[in-house]
Every structure is written in structure tokens, then in C-alpha cells.
Amino acid sequence: MATPLLEVRNLVVQFPTRRGTLTAVDDISFHIDEGEVLGVVGESGAGKSMTGAAVIGLLEPPGRIAGGQVLLQGRRIDNLPYEQMRRIRGKEIGAIFQDPLTSLNPLYSVGRQLVETIQTHTDMSPTQARARTIELLTEVGIPAPERRVDQYPHQFSGGMRQRVVIALALCVNPRLIIADEPTTALDVSIQAQIIALLKRLCREHGTAVMLVTHDMGVIAETADRVAVMYAGRIAEIGPVREVIKNAKHPYTHGLMGSIPAVGHDAERLEQIPGSMPRLTDIPQGCAFNPRCPHVFDRCRQDRPDLIPVEDSRVSCWLYDRASGPGIEVAKARVASTHADDLQEAADV
């Protein structure tokens, strides 16, 4: 098998505090192939953004990688000195953040920021870097780039600023982009344009993307595979259509049921009871067990690892051949509960 572009093995991210050590990302593993878009989805506080920050080496102190490995094209990068990681960041790994105003310096024109980034990682002359900048602004859909290259971030709309940030992430053709909520603050029509832009860039440049979001619509439209995170762990990971149409983990099923569908005439959407636990109060066993309608004794005692089920992998004891009811029974049980919840909502 070919070496994945990005491979994360048993990653653990911790925050030492006066009340003890908090584990924000707890022993997760995944990979991303060249040209692939992996969506990472979950509630706020699930550990999505923390995972992306750990991959790119931008954890805020006192956060630290306490275990595991991050490999880029087979080379370990999580233990590199700051200067070495700084050279990789931007040249081999790009980043797109939720708020473009935090990524752009308001005192510099967008052209100057792009030119400086290009010259930091390449041997281009100022003239060549400026020509490359105008080319990039054209590629991401900025109108009249020859004029706008000398304008400042405040002179751009939110969607245009996000396009500039994408150009900044792509300016030296990185192999991987970490996109953290790149469409959250944008209008729906602008979201669609940014999604189409990311898909086109992946197709034309072979760039891999780790797309962090809480919007399943964005995931369905953009991603090839999706990882569903809950309380710092991966609950389910698999092809995006399989996870959306045939969710196996009870938490994933709840997420899918909470999304309104065209033609669905129920008066109320399904909801997951309770809330995600705080980092200081993660329950023993499966972290989802207090909210799960299928919980049994082993769920409260032992933490499940990812179990292969068809094309996906699911962190749920229901699918364990030794202690669970069996794969087919588990799938039927989860689907039946989903249908019952919808009927109950309709009756109310």
C-alpha cells in the first residue's frame, strides 16, 4: 500500500492545569491520502480544532502533544524543533482558519503578505513573487487582481478575505491544507463558492485537505471520508456517503437525525438527550454511554476501540462480536430507535 500523505497515530493532546491534566484529544488515529478531503465533524469541544492544531504544530501553551505521532509522507513531524516545523508550515502544510481577519495583518496590503510568504519559502525575486501573487488571486476568484493586490484586508468583503486566506495557504503549493471552519462566518451563497473552490483546488493540484467543521452539509458536499468526533475520540470514520446514509454509531445516528430533510414532515427533529461531558468529567468506559439509548454494562466499564464494520470503523461495543448483539442486530437496533424517536416527535 502507498504511504498516506498524512498519518496520525494514537495522538494525545493534554493541558496541564491546577486541577489536574485535561485530555482534549484522546488516542485518535487516522490518515489522509493525496488529493483526499477528510471531514472532521462533531459538537463544539469534541477536539476537532485541537486535532488540526496539533497536526500543524500550532497548539497554544500549555497545550502539548503528550503521546502518539504525526507523520507527513512517512516522516515524523510532531517532535521537530520550532524552526524546522516553521519551514514545513506554509511550504508543505497550509492552514485556513475560521476568521480571515485573524489570519491577515490589517497593517499590510494583501499583496505584501502573499509576496512575503512566497519569498520566505521559495527563491523567487520580488517581481516573480508579485506575479505569482496576482496569479493566485485570479485563481481563487478575486476580481481585478492587479488593482486589488495593493488593497488592505478591510477593503475586502468576508468572502473575499476568505479567498485571500485560501490563496495564502496555497501560495507555495503545499501537499496538505488544514481548513478549520473555513465557511462558518460566511453567507450560504458564499459558502457554496468556497466549497466549490476547495474541491477544484484539490482536483487540480492533488492537495489533501483536513476539513474541520460542525456543518454536515459542508461535509456531505466536500469530503470523501468523514471522522465523527466525540469527547476527544473518534466515534465513527468512513466514506462520507456511508456515514451519512447508514450511520452506525448511536451518536452519529443522532447527529444525522437532527438535520432537517427536504420532504420530512415531522413537527420535531430528533435530539440527543443531555450534553457532551466536560474534560474534567469524562465518564468511565464509552464517553457517550450516559446519553446512549443502547447502553449496557460493558459500555460503562471499558472504552471501545474502533471496530471495522463494512466500509467504516465504529467505536461502539454494539458491534463487538464477543460482547455485543452482532453487527446486523446492532444496525437494526440503532435504526429502529431512530425511527421510534421520529415517530414520537411526530406524535408530539
DSSP for 209-248, written as a single string: EEEEES-HHHHHHH-SEEEEEETTEEEEEEEHHHHHHS--
**Tell me, what's the pLDDT at 348?**
36
| Model confidence band, residue 263 (pLDDT cutoffs 50, 70, 90) | low
Q: To the nearest whole number, what is the mean pLDDT of the chain? A: 87
For the chain, give every residue range classified as CATH 3.40.50.300: 33-58+81-228
Among 180, 250, 245, which Cα is nearest to 218's? 180
pLDDT in tens, 139-180: 888 999 999 999 999 999 888 998 899 889 888 889 999 999
In this structure, the number of other CB atoms found within 10 A of the CB of residue 162 comes to 27
Among 68, 33, 62, 27, which Cα is nearest to 47's? 27
The CATH T-level fold of domain 33-58+81-228 is Rossmann fold (3.40.50)
**Tell me, what's the pLDDT at 256?**
85
pLDDT in tens, 216-255: 888 888 899 999 999 999 999 999 999 999 999 999 998 8
Average pLDDT over residues 103-122: 93
pTM over cut 0.75: yes
**Tell me, what's the pLDDT at 346?**
39
| Model confidence band, residue 209 (pLDDT cutoffs 50, 70, 90) | very high
Please answer whether residues 162 and 193 qualify as being in contact, where contact means their C-beta atoms are separated by less than 8 angstroms. no
All three cell numbers of 260: 432537517
What's the sign of the alpha-carbon dihedral 197, 203, 208, 211? positive
Q: At what angle do helices 250-257 and 327-347 cross, to 10 degrees?
A: 30
Give the chain's largest Cα–Cα span: 69
| Model confidence band, residue 193 (pLDDT cutoffs 50, 70, 90) | confident
Average pLDDT over residues 254-280: 78
